[in-house]
């Protein structure tokens, strides 16, 4: 079993005629994802990779059953693309686009949370993959393997590195979710932890965090008080200088707060073992699954 997507999920790609959209649509199809259509305003009636292209989500949804929308449009159009998908009742919206203005995302976040039943992953995220089944986004399928470890991560690159280390150690994943590292994202750690805890085939959860913000601390409290599934942690950025932005918009350390060390300590204080390297995390995962 997986969370969010599986081999029955029907996917539409917004921005399919652009370079990134076309490339990753092809990769998703090769992985086995059931991509049914694409959307690019003004390109309706054409085809890309054998898929019909429509001018709007509304038009596509009137002709296809759609469960997931993956967004590759430029940042200035991303707000409207997200709203178009949720307004047409698409359950899961995965926004890969980066550099979306914070003001736009603030409006989008409130609207999606308060007025729709849709779930938004991202923006500035690698997406979601259920190994051996389906992927929505830009995750490289070859580093993942079917298994029983659920991964939720703020960092795209670390998502691949941690998953690869687990796979090389003979440990597979049920679902891997890259939630994105921006200051405002549609889905946080706790949202995904809840889903994994309800998934009968996810026997271990790995939370991959990074410096900045308080999301890892909030997740630690939730895990301690509510989660029944064993959970491990990994935090990137032990050598990051304070006060300097590192990678994502959310990865800024202020004073003693938000450092990798403080986050790791909080997780461990709440009963979540933290690996200090990907290889150590894989060792902890192997031990946890044996017990």
- The first and second tokens of residue 244, run together, are 């300097």
The two beta strands, 68-71 and 134-137, are unpaired
Q: Which of 24, 103, 248, 270 is catalytic?
A: 248
CB < 8 Å & 24+ apart, contacts of 44-47: 46/17
Owner of token pair 């998953």: 163
Token duo for residue 133? 């089944």
Alpha carbon distance 26, 32 (integer Å): 10
Do 126 and 144 contact (CB within 8 A), yes or no? no
Are the CB atoms for 143 and 154 separated by under 8 Å? no
| Residue among 279, 22, 42, 10 nearest 166 (CA) | 279
Distance CA 70, CA 81 (A): 10
Under a CB-based contact definition with an 8 Å cutoff, are residues 234 and 278 in contact?
yes
Using DSSP's 3-state secondary structure scheme, residue 201 falls into coil
Half-sphere exposure of 22 (CA within 13 A, CB side): 10
> Is 64 annotated in the active site?
no
Residues catalogued as catalytic: 248
């Amino acid at each position: 079993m997986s969370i969010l997507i599986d081999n029955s999920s029907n996917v539409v790609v917004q921005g399919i005629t652009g370079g990134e959209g076309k490339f990753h649509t092809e990769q998703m199809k090769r992985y086995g994802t059931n991509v049914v259509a694409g959307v690019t305003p003004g390109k309706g009636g054409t085809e890309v990779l054998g898929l019909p292209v429509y001018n709007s989500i509304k038009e596509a949804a009137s002709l296809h059953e759609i469960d997931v929308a993956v967004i590759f449009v430029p940042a200035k159009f991303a707000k409207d693309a997200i709203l178009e998908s949720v307004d047409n009742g698409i359950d899961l919206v995965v926004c890969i686009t980066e550099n979306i203005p914070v003001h736009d995302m603030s409006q989008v976040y409130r609207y999606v949370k308060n007025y729709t039943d849709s779930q938004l992953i991202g923006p500035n995220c690698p997406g979601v993959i259920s190994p051996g089944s389906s992927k929505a986004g830009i995750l490289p399928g070859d580093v993942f393997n079917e298994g029983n470890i659920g991964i939720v991560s703020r960092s795209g690159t670390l998502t691949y590195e941690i998953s690869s280390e687990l796979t090389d150690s003979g440990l597979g994943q049920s679902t891997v979710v890259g939630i994105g590292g921006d200051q405002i994202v549609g889905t946080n750690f706790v949202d995904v932890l809840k889903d994994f805890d309800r998934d009968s085939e996810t026997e271990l959860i790995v939370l991959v965090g990074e410096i900045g913000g308080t999301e890892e601390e909030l997740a630690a409290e939730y895990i301690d008080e509510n989660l029944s599934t064993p959970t491990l942690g990994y935090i990137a950025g032990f050598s990051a200088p304070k006060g300097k932005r590192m990678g994502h918009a959310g990865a800024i350390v202020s004073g003693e707060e938000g450092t990798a060390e403080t986050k790791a300590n909080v997780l461990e204080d709440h009963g979540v073992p933290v690996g200090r390297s990907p290889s150590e995390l894989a060792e902890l995962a192997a031990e946890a699954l044996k017990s």
